[in-house]
Structure 1
Amino acid sequence: MLAISAILAAGMLMTGGILSHAADDGAPTEGVEGATAGDEAGRGWVGRSAERPPLPRFVSMRSAEVNVRTGPGTRYPVSVIYHRRDLPVEITAEYENWRKIRDVEGAEGWAHMSLLSGRRTAIITGEVRTLYDRPSADAVALLRAEPGVVGRVMACERNWCEMDIANTRAWIRRDEIWGVYPDEDFR
């Protein structure tokens, strides 16, 4: 069984430093250098078109540093700076190219859509969790992951989701992660 805590110690995954509060000096700052247009395909759609998927919906951070503002525009001050690529967030509102997002702790703010990705990820919650080779509690345990570990969500069915964490695909109970809805099934 692979222990994610050993991987964390080696620096391959990060559990701390999810966000920091920016100085509220009112001075607008620009987005992350090298950001690209938002994803328009997939379940986590963040882009613009005539047909938008319903709100709320989960997406993830495209960059390792994302400024989140108090309102939808660069004239609003930065309230939080996230320091974690692939962190799952929930889009709760949209205004032009801006998306109001909420994180696992309930903090909210506005991010430009170019800083978000349709790639579905989830974060381990609560305590150290066991992930299995198939969606069953009597299956073979493949790894254990600490709270705060983020992985890519590959599929969800019934009460289980398949995740890719540290290049290992394994199943976890849906209620042990944040980043998918209770009734959301997909492959």
Structure 2
Amino acid sequence: MGRFPLIVVAAAFVVALTGAAIAESARGPVTNLPLPRYVSLKASKANVRRGPSLTHRIDWVFKRKNMPLEITAEYGHWRRVRDIEGLGGWIHYSLLSGARTVIVEQDMMPLNVRPESDTPMVAHLELGVVARLGECGPDWCRLNAGGFKGWAPKTNLWGVQDSELRD
């Protein structure tokens, strides 16, 4: 009887590791690309539907071109997406772009010359600014916003995963 709790703990540990491995290796059934992943809105207006077809009801309309979105599922030519507020639904893939953007989550966020906090600032970006995403290291990403280029901490950005590295 003394070994029973140890077996239960070991089994729970194996299940947790298996679930984490599956989550890390999840791939879209249509594109074979990682899920979840980030994209941007190609169109200036996109209907967000309750399900993956034109017959499903439109719940709302995204109206911010280049806005980053997270793809969480795929079905045929449809992608289930969510925005920074967690709102989402199904959008036709033709309205999405692989060009990466992020939204600034800190008001007056400094954009630095190099990926270090003690370097000169190029600009300050307001809360909600959409910026083009460039290369990313473990903690910093290079951004292009309003003609200004510089580095920002990942923790202040929505549209890039914490562990994501980009060249």
TM-score by length of 2: 0.80
The one-letter amino acid of 1:136's match is E
1:34-183 matched pairs, under 5 angstroms: 52-183=32-163
What CA RMSD, in Å, does the superposition of the two structures yield over aligned residues?
A: 1.5
Count of residue pairs brought into register by the alignment: 140
Unaligned runs of 5+ in 2: 1-27
Aligned-pair identity in percent equals 38
Call closer, same or farther: CA 1:53–1:155 in 2, change over 3 Å.
same
1:127, CA displacement in angstroms? 2.4
1:52, CA displacement in angstroms? 1.5
More helix by share: 2
The one-letter amino acid of 1:54's match is P
Secondary structure, counterpart of 1:76 in structure 2: coil
1:50, CA displacement in angstroms? 6.8
- 1:88-109 residue CA offsets vs partner (Å, 9 max, x unmatched): 0000000000000010000020
Secondary structure, counterpart of 1:114 in structure 2: helix
The one-letter amino acid of 1:164's match is N
TM-score by length of 1: 0.72
